[in-house]
Structure 1
Amino acid sequence: MKLFKYIFWLAGAGLILTGCQKELEKINRNPNESETVQPDYLLTNGIKTNVDTYWGNDAAFETSLLYVQYWAKIQYTDPDRYIPAATSIQTVWNNFYAQGVEDFTTLAALGDSLNNPNYKAVAIIMRSWIFQVLTDLYGDVPYKQTADIEKYLTPQYDNQRDIYLGLLAELKTAAGLINTSADGIAGDILLRGDLLKWKKFANSLRLRIALRIADQEFDAAKAVFDEIGADNSNLIASNDENVKLNYLASPNQNPVAKNRETRNDYRISKSVVDKLNALNDPRLTIYAAMPRDTNKIIGVTNGLPTDSASRLGFNKTSDVGAVFTAASAPAVLFSYAELLFIKAEAAQRGLLAGEDAATLYAAAVTASLKQYGVSDAAVATYLLQPSVVYNAANYKQSIGDQKWLALFGDGLAGFAEWRRLDYPKLPAAYTGVLGGKSPLRLTYPSSEQALNGVNYKAAVAHQGADQLITRLWFDKE
């Protein structure tokens, strides 16, 4: 796999003579090994490595899961106080570009050379998902020029608006390329080669992005909902169609399970526990584990000093529930509940015609509860509570609170939606270092300043200071 070259480019590389380089390439060729990448291997590896990054230490445990207050830290609390490790920020960037954008760009080209449009479509969908995650996190990022890194060693940053609009167009193209009557694909560990499910994933991502831009580009968002918002046959239609990677036993276990093999410094946030208790929510005992030394679920306040957090006791505070920490716990990239929340908000805001927001909201809450095996009777009781009943006069609170709960565990999606909807109202970390404010993005990695400085400076000049509290374009006040 080629690494995303500008990240690792060293000035001394220019000293290598072209002729010597060609000679070395000849010497280092292995006549017994194929030099052609197999598309099924590339697809399997691309899915696994990028989902691992998405649900892993740097993009989730040490950043987004803390910022959106799903998790808290009971040891080494600096990240929970908004002091992220430089390595975390760098690793997210490196992995998504080198193991994501690069690999899926290669796979898309293979789809063309093999005359298999389905490989190309799947590659575009996965690459678009990665770009959506990158721009959600950082804001303006390299996008258009990354498709030809041989030509653009130091690619320009694109404006977030242009990235989202570009992704909407790419996903539409990908959905149109899918041909269930043509050659299938192999190596698909995400949707098991079900091309209709890939089309549904693409269209559901289009609706997610359309809602993401709706505060700034209402007409463009509405055009997407007008086109596909009511076409349930081509959207995720049940919990059985949730887009998720099913993990196995070690060494192919869930990243959360792998983390728990050697560490014990994460707990469920007090913010989540308090909200679930206030709503008499049956997900409490699913999302949180019972501490060994108590008979009560206890969450941890975000951003405690290390000494204060440590005194709470490992066996007296609650870890995240086994449904997330088990080796085979799935990593969900897009759920039916999320799609229904998207449609509920779209109906409320006039983006989706002919639909009732309250009905869709109730269906979304139901889908989230049923995703975790809550009984029909418990669901019915829950929906009747005045604190849960949909409030059209403050739809952002109704949808924001319940969507935050439904996305629990998915730190990156939860972080984006919390910023956009401004609910629930979460206090800043107890001893946070941002003057009582909470993070609104990740800063760019230091390698960008060193190796892509001209374009980095242009991005900062356009977007604003390279700080955690800089508001992104989609996050309109």
Structure 2
Amino acid sequence: MHIKRLTAGMLAVLLAVVAGCKSDYLDVNNNPNQVTAASPQLVLPDALATTGWYLTGNAPSGATGSFYFLNLWMGYWNWSGNYSIATSDKNYQFTQGFNNSVWTSAYLNLKNYNYVDTQAAVLGQPLLQGMAKIMKALHFHILVDTYGNVPYTTALQGTANILPKYDNAQDIYDDLFKQIDAGIALLNKGDGTLNPGPNDIMFQGDISQWLKFANTLKLRMLLRQSEKTDRASFIQTQLATIKASGYGFLGAGENASVSPGYTNSQNMQNPLYGAFYAINGNPTTLNNQYKGNLYGITFYKNTNDPRLGAYYRPVAGTTNTFNGTLFGTIDVVVNSLVSDVGPGVLKSVDQRSPIIQSHESLFMQAEAAQRGWIAGDPKTLYQSAITESFINAGRTEAEATAYYSQAGINDVNWDASTNKIEAIITQKWASENGTAPFEAWSDYRRLGIPATIPISQDPSTTVKQIPVRLLYPTSEYSNNAFNVGAQGTINQFTSKIFWEK
């Protein structure tokens, strides 16, 4: 079966399901996208493509994509002055209906991975089962990072349990490490069994890359807990397991990214690119809604960063003039005077959708090495991470070397930086513009870096703080009221995730 046609078609069905889903998001037996007779190796590419859409794509019916709003909060983008934007989208005072697709889409796709996991076990396909377990861990970790306590142990049981209880966030995290280890064990025992090959649209069946990806995901989850002293023993135990595995982490040129075969056809474009450009090449409404943020633009200008022209486009009619506005500003600036999202983010109709990019992995390794968690020279890892971020944004290695070699610039030049962790996280933030705002938000919640990210400029912003979480969706209060009610009163400014400071 043709992979491009299969994945694009199934993805279109999934988007329709996401738009209208209610309590069925936990019912594994009621998913039009998941035929019970389907081979796990044919469900896997759809699930992987959906993960790519989930992290960077556009939600159905023209709504904002799952994590687009974080580009606003984290100083990368701002709303256009040409649109009337709801006040709640500018002052953080959102309600339970805000971005419900983050929740519903995750659980829908978890059903796909759960199907691959269970059916591959029945069919004796350990490679597919291991991949599914690792991807389930990825999605549950993102759910925990977004909401805290979520349905876990009794979720995905279909009609056997339509009212799943909420599990403690830290307990879920602890179990996710076990699930990743189980996935690794399955990958190791799968030699000589069915390899999905091209149906694995992330690594094309390269098991060594999957093993590195699993360790990199573990490292990300451990770093989330870096500020919790009571987690030190757990962290060291997990680091020892990672070291003993010998698999290492994703390195230079090793991007965990997916492509089902994106083409310039309806519903078959890269989901991020396709949200901004129609198949005829014309800008979409979303292209006109999101513009450059003055904070980000000023940062790249002040540090002589060539990525400025990758993350933003010059103002119309100019070749090197970049301009933006701050999130929530009431000063209307016409679109022709503000920079658009740049070619380093919107590369092409067939660009791959990132899951964990090589530069993110290297920045995490640099931080872990600086903390003494892993072996390696933090300076070398830091500079390699910057180089990878330049390459991934369409710039050159020579430009990266010139950039981080600038004398005396704090948070750019390693030797000049007075706080090495701050330098690492600042440069990590600088590399995630448009493609990984969730990671930037997570580091900000964990460490408060970059400390200078401005809060919304809207006059109605009464709480001068970037939210620390999202609220549980309306559907939970309608369909699983007792269990979500047991979580107490949730506030986006004070109800912290367990690993937050």
State the one-letter code of the partner of 1:190: M
Query: Which residue number corresponds to residue 55 of structure 2?
Result: 54
Query: Which residue number corresponds to residue 418 of structure 1?
Result: 444
The alpha carbon displacement at 1:73 in A equals 0.7
The alpha carbon displacement at 1:334 in A equals 0.7
Query: Which residue number corresponds to residue 264 of structure 2?
Result: 249
The alpha carbon displacement at 1:232 in A equals 6.7
Identity among equivalent pairs (%): 27
Q: Does 1:223 align with 2:233?
A: no
State the one-letter code of the partner of 2:118: A
Aligned pairs (5 A) from 1:439-458: 439-458=467-486
Q: Identify if the C-alpha distance between structure 1 residues 434 and 116 changes in structure 2 by more than 3 Å, giving closer, same or farther.
A: farther
Query: Which residue number corresponds to residue 362 of structure 1?
Result: 383
Q: Distance in 2 between matches of 1:268 and 1:469?
A: 29
CA deviations on 1:306-354 (whole Å, 9 max, x unpaired) are xx3xx311121111112322322322111221112112211222322x4
Please say if residues 341 and 361 of structure 1, whose CA atoms lie closer than 8 Å, have aligned partners that are also in contact. yes
Query: What is the RMSD computed on CA atoms of the aligned residues?
Result: 2.5
Q: Does 1:380 align with 2:395?
A: no
Query: Which residue number corresponds to residue 273 of structure 1?
Result: 297
State the one-letter code of the partner of 1:101: L
Match for 1:430 among 434, 440, 457? 457
State the one-letter code of the partner of 1:355: G
TM-score (norm 1): 0.86
Please say if residues 292 and 312 of structure 2, whose CA atoms lie closer than 8 Å, have aligned partners that are also in contact. yes
Q: Identify if the C-alpha distance between structure 1 residues 451 and 150 changes in structure 2 by more than 3 Å, giving closer, same or farther.
A: same
Q: Distance in 2 between matches of 1:312 and 1:114?
A: 59
Match for 2:361 among 339, 356, 377? 339
Please say if residues 79 and 327 of structure 2, whose CA atoms lie closer than 8 Å, have aligned partners that are also in contact. yes
Query: Which structure has greater helix proportion?
Result: 1
| 3-state secondary structure, aligned to 1:333 | strand
Please say if residues 52 and 354 of structure 2, whose CA atoms lie closer than 8 Å, have aligned partners that are also in contact. no
Q: Does 1:103 align with 2:89?
A: no
Query: Which residue number corresponds to residue 492 of structure 2?
Result: 467
State the one-letter code of the partner of 1:474: W
| 3-state secondary structure, aligned to 2:471 | coil
Query: Which residue number corresponds to residue 274 of structure 2?
Result: 258
Please say if residues 53 and 95 of structure 1, whose CA atoms lie closer than 8 Å, have aligned partners that are also in contact. yes
Q: Identify if the C-alpha distance between structure 1 residues 303 and 230 changes in structure 2 by more than 3 Å, giving closer, same or farther.
A: farther
Q: Identify if the C-alpha distance between structure 1 residues 406 and 194 changes in structure 2 by more than 3 Å, giving closer, same or farther.
A: same
Q: Distance in 1 between matches of 2:243 and 2:181?
A: 13
Task: Name segments (4+ residues, structure 1) moved above 6 Å.
Answer: 1-4
Q: Does 1:134 align with 2:146?
A: no
Aligned pairs (5 A) from 1:66-465: 66-74=72-80, 75-78=83-86, 79-84=89-94, 87-98=97-108, 100-178=109-187, 179-185=190-196, 187-216=199-228, 217-229=231-243, 233-239=247-253, 241-246=254-259, 247-250=262-265, 251-260=267-276, 261=278, 262-263=284-285, 264-295=288-319, 296-305=321-330, 308=331, 311-325=332-346, 326-352=348-374, 354-385=375-406, 386-387=408-409, 388-390=412-414, 393-409=418-434, 410-425=436-451, 426-431=453-458, 433-460=461-488, 465=490
TM-score (norm 2): 0.82
Q: How many residues align?
A: 442
Q: Identify if the C-alpha distance between structure 1 residues 421 and 181 changes in structure 2 by more than 3 Å, giving closer, same or farther.
A: farther
Query: Which residue number corresponds to residue 16 of structure 1?
Result: none
The alpha carbon displacement at 1:226 in A equals 2.4
CA deviations on 1:70-112 (whole Å, 9 max, x unpaired) are 22111343324325575552222111102x1111111100111
Q: Identify if the C-alpha distance between structure 1 residues 411 and 434 changes in structure 2 by more than 3 Å, giving closer, same or farther.
A: farther
Please say if residues 252 and 384 of structure 2, whose CA atoms lie closer than 8 Å, have aligned partners that are also in contact. no
| 3-state secondary structure, aligned to 1:146 | coil
Please say if residues 400 and 423 of structure 1, whose CA atoms lie closer than 8 Å, have aligned partners that are also in contact. yes
Please say if residues 382 and 424 of structure 2, whose CA atoms lie closer than 8 Å, have aligned partners that are also in contact. yes
Query: Which residue number corresponds to residue 31 of structure 1?
Result: none
Q: Distance in 2 between matches of 1:147 and 1:449?
A: 18
Q: Identify if the C-alpha distance between structure 1 residues 406 and 180 changes in structure 2 by more than 3 Å, giving closer, same or farther.
A: farther
List runs of 5+ in structure 1 lacking aligned partners: 11-24, 26-33
Q: Distance in 2 between matches of 1:282 and 1:135?
A: 35
Q: Distance in 1 between matches of 2:144 and 2:241?
A: 24
Please say if residues 114 and 136 of structure 2, whose CA atoms lie closer than 8 Å, have aligned partners that are also in contact. yes
Q: Identify if the C-alpha distance between structure 1 residues 212 and 183 changes in structure 2 by more than 3 Å, giving closer, same or farther.
A: same
The alpha carbon displacement at 1:61 in A equals 5.4
State the one-letter code of the partner of 1:238: A
Please say if residues 107 and 120 of structure 1, whose CA atoms lie closer than 8 Å, have aligned partners that are also in contact. yes
Q: Distance in 1 between matches of 2:210 and 2:56?
A: 20
Q: Distance in 2 between matches of 1:453 and 1:135?
A: 19
| 3-state secondary structure, aligned to 2:345 | helix
